[in-house]
Amino acid sequence: MKRKIIPYDPKLKELARQLRNNSTRSEIRLWQFLKGKQMMGYDFHRQKPLLHYIADFYCYELGLVIELDGYTHQFEETDQKDRVKQRELEAIGLTVLRFDDLEVMQDINNVLRSLENYILEYQEKHTPNPSQEGN
């Protein structure tokens, strides 16, 4: 499935670079399992500008955004912004998976299992069925 390039606000490039250089502990931990195509051969990027947002992690081939929610995401204002961001990203055909920082730090295996399950389901949906000709 050919995916279109997602526009972004060029002003976010420098902020994304700063965020990559000042990652949270949970982002660093998850990145250890995503970088270098370690997650089932898929290429993930950190702090990727998309539209007028910066996604924590993004995989172009899967159309997948991974967001890690820390303690500030418990506040109503931040939660509201998260919901708007997720709606807008989903409206352009992306899938957003959210994980709590604590989950990444204390139960990384469950997070990785969730990602693997998502990828397997994605592959199943997007792999063309062989021709049934002759049956």
Give exposure, 87-99, as e/b (b: 16+ Cβ within 10 Å): eebeeeebebeeb
> Could you tell me if residue 133 is inside a domain?
no
> Could you tell me if residue 108 is inside a domain?
yes
| Residue 27 near residue 68, CB atoms below 8 Å | yes
What confidence score (pLDDT) does residue 24 get?
Answer: 94
Cα–Cα dist 117/110, whole Å: 10
> Could you tell me if residue 6 is inside a domain?
no
Rounded mean pLDDT, 72-100: 87
Give 2's pLDDT tier (boundaries 50, 70, 90): low
| Residue 30 near residue 44, CB atoms below 8 Å | no
What are the E-state strand segments in 1-135?
Answer: 45-50, 53-59, 64-69, 95-100
Rounded mean pLDDT, 107-132: 90
Residue 25 domain boundaries: 12-126
> Could you tell me if residue 7 is inside a domain?
no
Whole-structure pTM value: 0.88
User: Which DSSP letter does residue 23 get?
Assistant: -
Give 79's pLDDT tier (boundaries 50, 70, 90): confident
Specify the number of domains making up the chain: 1
Is 17 buried (19+), middle (13-18) or exposed (0-12) by CB count in 10 A? Answer: exposed
Average pLDDT over all residues of the chain:
90
> Could you tell me if residue 23 is inside a domain?
yes
> Could you tell me if residue 5 is inside a domain?
no
Q: Each residue of 26-77: pLDDT tens digit?
A: 999 999 999 999 999 999 999 999 999 999 999 999 999 999 997 655 667 7
Q: Which residue type, as a one-letter code, is found at position 101?
A: D
Q: Which residue type, as a one-letter code, is found at position 51?
A: L
User: What tokens appear for 113 in the block?
Assistant: 């299992």
Give 119's pLDDT tier (boundaries 50, 70, 90): very high
> Could you tell me if residue 102 is inside a domain?
yes
> Could you tell me if residue 2 is inside a domain?
no
Terminal Cα-to-Cα distance of the chain (whole angstroms)? 27
What confidence score (pLDDT) does residue 70 get?
Answer: 78
Question: Residue 92's domain is classified under what CATH number?
Answer: 3.40.960.10
What confidence score (pLDDT) does residue 75 get?
Answer: 60
